[in-house]
């Protein structure tokens, strides 16, 4: 087995004629719509973390007895909690719609001998599946089935 390569093995034999400019952020970086979308997408991670902590609090209260459970459920009717859960719903919808927008573009040009369906058909199928699963879980949690 050969030894490690010399650190300058891939360096050019002589320096280039032009210097590389130092990296610089564009002046319009913060005002660009794409960066605001990226930052909003990243901020949903904080919302998910906080939603997970609320879920842990509820599960902990479930094991602590009926009095603690009733107090926890009563505290969740606070308008701040309701607003927070609305923000959580908007975050989930934002990430879901963004993911579904990327999904058709990531499909291979051919799947075996068949071509994938057109992008609008893929999107319609994804949204229909999402709506179906949402309605199924709403029916289960609402007590309409099972």
Asked whether the beta carbons of 96 and 88 are under 8 A apart, the reply is no
Same domain, 83 and 114: no
Q: What is the pLDDT of residues 84-112, one digit of tens each?
A: 999 999 999 999 888 888 877 777 777 78
> Which pLDDT belongs to residue 2?
61
> Which pLDDT belongs to residue 89?
93
Same domain, 80 and 115: no
> Which pLDDT belongs to residue 117?
82
Q: Is 137 left (phi over 0), alpha (psi -120 to 50) or beta?
A: alpha
The pair of three-digit structure tokens given for residue 92, joined into one six-digit string: 């989930």
Residue at 2 is within a domain:
no
Same domain, 90 and 111: no
d(CA 130, CA 103) in angstroms, rounded, equals 14
Same domain, 113 and 140: yes
- Domains held by the chain: number: 2
| Number of neighbours of residue 75 by Cβ within 10 angstroms | 13
Q: What does pLDDT average to in each consecutive run of 10 residues of the chain (146 residues)?
A: 68 74 72 84 94 95 92 93 95 90 78 82 89 94 87
DSSP result, 88-114: HHHHHHHHHHHHHHHTGGGS-S-BTTB
74 is in which domain, residue-wise? Answer: 32-102
């Amino acid at each position: 087995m050969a030894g490690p390569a010399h650190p300058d093995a891939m360096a050019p034999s002589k320096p280039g004629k032009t210097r590389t400019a130092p990296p610089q952020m564009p002046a319009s970086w913060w005002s660009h719509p794409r960066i605001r979308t990226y930052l909003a997408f990243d901020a949903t991670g904080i919302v998910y973390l906080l939603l997970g902590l609320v879920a842990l609090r509820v599960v902990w209260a479930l094991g602590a007895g009926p009095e603690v459970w009733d107090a926890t459920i009563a505290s969740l009717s606070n308008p701040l909690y309701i607003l927070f859960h609305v923000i959580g719903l908007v975050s989930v919808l934002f990430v879901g719609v963004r993911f579904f927008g990327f999904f058709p573009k990531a499909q291979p040009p051919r799947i075996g001998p068949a071509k994938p369906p057109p992008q609008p058909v893929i999107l319609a199928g994804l949204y229909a599946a999402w709506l179906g699963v949402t309605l199924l879980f709403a029916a289960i949690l609402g007590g309409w089935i099972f």
